[in-house]
Structure 1
Amino acid sequence: MPPRRAVTGRSQEPRQRFAEELRLLRTQRGESLRQLGKALGWDASLFGKMESGRTIGSPEVAEALDHHYGTPGMLLALWELALCDPTQFLEQYRRYMRLEAEAVSLWHYAVSAPPGLLQTAGYAREALAAGGMKGQELDQQVEARTGRRKLLEGDDPPPFRVILSEAVLRTSLREPQAWLEQLEYLAEAAERPNITLHVLPFSAGPHGLMNTAMMFLRMPDGRTVAYTENDVRGELIEENSKVEPLQRTYDALRDLVLPPAESRKFILRMLEEVPCGPSI
């Protein structure tokens, strides 16, 4: 078993340490990424992304690498630490934001909150403040979130399909006027030619994404990446073998939604229930 290195510098961060160990073990073996991929049966690009810290792969990959390098359990243990590293989620989300800005089409499933691309300033402020944000940081994050809406505007905006769980429309803000403005914005967005908005009613019953918000991006090179979020974590998924089953789950969900016209009527009915009344 190769000697373990002292943990110094950035290698104290679990995700970075995992990537460093992978690079060290491969270079000590004198293998190229292509040779490693051929030996283990995965695409060489996966190992390149793991060594650069762009992904940590799966436990199956970590176990295969442990077997390949003769490091029983070491890489799997580092993988588990990297999986729980809170810094990785922020890094993945930042990368997702960069990819979102480049996407040629987008589709989304929202569990309990409108997607960031369709949030008003009032909604974003209350939601972010509920998470403990305040002061200048809160102002900056509200501006950043509402600034994302520009992606769907302009002369040639990308197509955007969004499925809103009924829970999104039932979870109102504390401030009625801010909630009214958010519903009005959703109703207006549903009429734009580049936006297809569906409501998934509670009557649709259980489905494969009940507790997971899901975002897909079609990139200029034709590949699709996914980003999943639940109550405790988010994950950027770029491996095609993992993206495809998620797409199938999303496609199955589409069979349960209301058509666009009925979905907009659903939102308008929600507007009628707001105490101050709709203004559209």
Structure 2
Amino acid sequence: METTTATLPLAAAAPAHRPARRLTRHARVQPATIFHPQDPSLSPEAHFPLQTVSGPDRAPFPRFINRFDSREMLLVVDGSCVNNGRHANRLADPTGGWAFVFKGAGSSTPTPPGMPSHHHHHEPGTTPPNAATLPPAAGRVAFPLERHGPSGERAEPTSNRAKLRAVIGALQFRAWGDEGWRRVVVLTDLEYVVWGATRWLPRWVARRWRKPRHCPGGGRRYGNRDLWEELQATVEELRVGGCEVSFWLVRGGEVEVGDGGDGGVMARAKEAARRAARGFEGEEPDAFTKISGAMV
């Protein structure tokens, strides 16, 4: 199945998406890293205040920037799944949504998130026909979880899959290295995503994606291989451009990242993901869709 690319209002048209290389047993995997705060006593909000950095090689847009290193920025991600694992209703299909926040609610260049019902190539600055959009929110992007992954295989929505998809969407949204960033820090509260991206992935690949037989589910395959391969390819692409990817794990409910708006940015990401999971029932995109932003 061919994957497609969609654009948001004020977003740049991106080339047709190609599935990432398969990570086989002998593939060399250099995973992303863990972010260690320079001052552990600071909240993410205080550590990465919303600001704009001026310079000949810097994009003139507000970002959550590390107060100790102006070449590091923060992305906040989340995913949601209605009827996750079919626990609420065994007969009803689960639906997922993912979202990320990359700048504050008070920013001057809002980019309304949108979900194209028909997957065509659209010109920058236009809304895809029959697009269903969430309410405009500067610096926030939300999208329903696609029925198929980047390799074209059908996959049932899950909470883990939605959050992993949010990381991919956030990292692919902009050519972050071209904005002058040496490191992008991804903030999330899901251990599966953080430890998978920074520790477990090389082991999974070396084991041919099969769980050890002495573990629960031994012999079965690890899930979401297509998204893990897509994430690793994205991390490697950013690294080649001089931008490293690190993950910052926060415990759910322990921290509220504020941005001067009505509510914290973590709460905004969670709410956007929940609305994307619930708001497009029956209209979920079929193919994996790359979202690209321009002038945002």
With the shorter chain as reference, the TM-score category is under 0.3
- State the TM-score, normalized to the length of structure 2: 0.24
**Larger radius of gyration, structure 1 or 2?**
1
Judging by fraction of residues, say which structure has more helix: 1
Greater RCO structure (CA 8 Å; 6+ sep) = 2
